[in-house]
Amino acid sequence: MSAWALSALIALPIGGAVAVACTPARRPGAARAVGLAAAVLTFVLAAWVWTAFRPGQSGLQFEERAAWVPAAGIGYHLGVDGLSVSLTALVALLVPLAIAASADQVRERSKPFVLTLLLLEAGLLGTFLAQDLVLFYVFWEAMLIPMYFLIALWGGPARRAAAIKFLLYTMAGSALMLLAIVAVYLRGGHVLGTPTFDLPALVARPLGWPPHVEALLFGAFAVAFAIKMPVWPLHTWLPDAYAEAPPVVTVLLAGLMAKAGAYGLLRFCLPLFPDAARAWGPLLAALAVVGILYGGAVAWAQGDLRRLLAYGSLSHMGFILLGIFALDVQAVQGSVLQMINHGVSTGALFLLAGMLIARTGQARTDAYGGLAAATPALAAVTLIVVASSLALPGTNGFVGEFLILLGAFQTRPLYTVLATGGVVLAAAYLLAFVGRIFHGPLRADLRGLPDLRPREYAVLAPLVAIILWVGFVPGPLLDRSEATVRALLRGPATSTEGPSRPAQTGSMASAARHAAPARPSPVRPDRGAADRRAVGGP
């Protein structure tokens, strides 16, 4: 089964979309049920992959290789490692929840809605699983079209402008990345002898770039990923898209698509361009700090609850970016964990926002007040999720942010001190958010609002469970990513363990690995022992 599990993961949502297309148009409930079934099946498979994943190995597992366009050096190469295994499971978890939640929130044209959602899921899963540059780019771009339609057709009043802004912004970044991919391919052809888009083969030995070329290509990749995350100052599409998209779609935008950007930085920028990553790391870390503080401050001032959460999400993504470019094992471990945490907590926050908006039709925070009296369960769940977002101990957010700050403090102390200001800001805007909506006297027009329904309990329960579980037992997640993160920061010369073995270019690439000189590693080499002690849980 493990020989085709990953292909099945991508194929299941596509098959589900086809099945949804075949349901009768008169019965939207059938479309949603079929879509939900496909998404749940996908989740079961993803959960199996997650449990069967062997921690402690840095290489790819569940690898699949097939010739795709051999004449052009493009291969069909899938695999999971520590960076992607939990993200894959997160995708498979959030999509069925979004479909289930959409039953109350998206009533018009629900059949094409579910269909598009499933296509988006296939794109997201492919993005996290692809190990070939072109295959990755195909999935990366293929996500955009479904997301464009989800915003443009089911969004709020200004949806068209928001959707096209999102599309053009992300396209512009990706377009340069495409050229950079081709440049890497051509260079790889010179250095390796065989032109290939295969990522493991390309990172197996240094490509020997001239520094300015490496910086340009690093920039092209980084900008594409930074737009997707987004990183300040490339975030200007975010508030419109997050606020105009239907809340269940924002769950996926903030919870999953943003992670694709952060994942791309780890998967491509660091191993392909280690020198440039080290050279430009301080700049990106500085941008991260600006984003943390800016996002937090602007979120505090928002009167629209989706915009508040959007800027809050921007601020939290800053921590992940800071952790990545701290180039420290602990910090990167924290970032990988925080990607999952942010997906869960931001996903839950937008789901809750969607439930509130579905009840009242109001998105402004001043339309609410004292709701805890009318909907105590909703208020309680929100408080737990906010606690996770605030990184209170006992929740998953604490583990992630603590690791990031701990690790980053050792390489970038100044930035880390500044970033802690963001933690304070988060407390300010999130508690203000909870206070304005749930506390105080209950507004007369909100009397009699229904509390959580069984379906909503079912949607929120898994997320709350994960928040608490990871808060107390972060080991399983951290163990899965540790070996890969270590190998990533150490460089490829010593990371020959693991089952990764290029098939078409096998003899060449493995010979290259043995022959390759020790590659400059983006992390200071003298800190291995300290990392080993600290990583693995606070």
Partner 1 sequence: MTWNDLAAAAPEAVLILTACAVLLQDAWATGGALEAERRGAVTTWLALVGVCVAAAAAAPAARAETAAFGGMYVRDGITRLADLIALGTAGVGVLLADGYVRRMRLPAGEYFALLLLSTSGAMLMAASRNLIVLFLGLEILSLPLYVLAAIARRSARSQEAGLKYLLLGAFATAFFVYGVALVYGAAGTLDLRALAAVPASPLLGGGLALLTVGLGFEAALVPFHGWAPDVYEGAPLPVVAFMSVAAKVGAFAGLIRVFPQALAHLAPTWGPMLQTLAIATMVLGNLAALPQTNVKRLLAYSSVAHAGYILIGVAAGGTAGTGAVLFYLAVYGAMNLGAFGVLLLLDRRGMEADRLDDLSGLAGRAPWAAWALGVCLVSLAGLPPTGGFIAKLYLFQAALGAGHTGLALVGVLTSVVSVFYYMRVVYTAFSGDAPADVAVHRNVMAGAALTAAAAGVLIYGIIPARLTAAVQQAAALLK
Which residues bind to partner 1, rule: CB under 8 A? 67-72, 134, 137-139, 141-142, 144-145, 148-149, 152-153, 160, 163-164, 167-168, 171-172, 175-176, 178-179, 182-183, 185-186
User: Phi then psi for 65, rounded to 5 degrees?
Assistant: -135, 140
Of 84 and 116, nearer to partner 1 (C-beta) is 116
Distance from C-alpha of 202 to C-alpha of 241, rounded to nearest angstrom: 35
Q: How far is the CB of 139 from partner 1 (least distance, A)?
A: 8
Nearer of residues 72 and 158 to partner 1, judged by Cβ: 72
- Nearest distance from residue 82's CB to partner 1, in Å? 27
Structure tokens at 370: 């004292």
In whole angstroms, give the CA distance from residue 74 to residue 502. Answer: 12
In sequence order, which ranges of 229-328 are alpha helices (DSSP H)? 238-244, 247-252, 258-264, 270-272, 274-300, 305-325
Q: What is the C-alpha to C-alpha distance for residues 382 and 103, in angstroms, rounded to an integer? A: 20
Nearer to partner 1, 90 or 217 (CB): 217
CB of residue 241 vs partner 1: minimum separation in angstroms? 15
Residue closer to partner 1, measured from CB, 52 or 69: 69
Q: What is the DSSP string of 477-499?
A: HHHHHHHHHHHHHH-GGG---SS
Instruction: Show the 3-state SS of 336-354.
Output: HHHHHHHHHHHHHHHHHHH
CB of 177 to partner 1, least distance (A): 9
Q: Which is closer to partner 1, CB of 161 or CB of 458?
A: 161
Q: Are 69 and 133 in contact (CB under 8 A)?
A: no
CB of 174 to partner 1, least distance (A): 9
Query: How far apart are CB 457 and partner 1 at their closest, in Å?
Result: 34
Smallest separation, CB 83 to partner 1 (Å)? 23
Q: How far is the CB of 8 from partner 1 (least distance, A)?
A: 17
465 contact partners, CB below 8 Å, separation of at least 6 = none
CB of 277 to partner 1, least distance (A): 22
Tokens 């870390």, residue located: 285
**Which residue, 70 or 525, is less far from partner 1 as judged by CB?**
70
Please choose, from the candidates 343, 187, 170, 175, the residue with its C-alpha nearest in 3D space to the C-alpha of residue 273.
Answer: 187
What are the structure tokens assigned to 21, written together?
A: 């297309």
Closest CA to 174 of 138, 124, 213, 130: 138
Cβ closer to partner 1: 172 or 473?
Answer: 172
Q: Select 139 or 438, whichever has its Cβ closest to partner 1.
A: 139
Q: Please report where in the chains the tokens 């597992």 appear, as a residue.
A: 61
Q: Closer CB to partner 1, residue 195 or residue 536?
A: 195
9, 11, 433 from 99: Cα distances, Å = 17, 18, 26
Both tokens of 529, joined, read 């022992």
C-alpha angle 413/415/421, rounded to 5°? Answer: 110
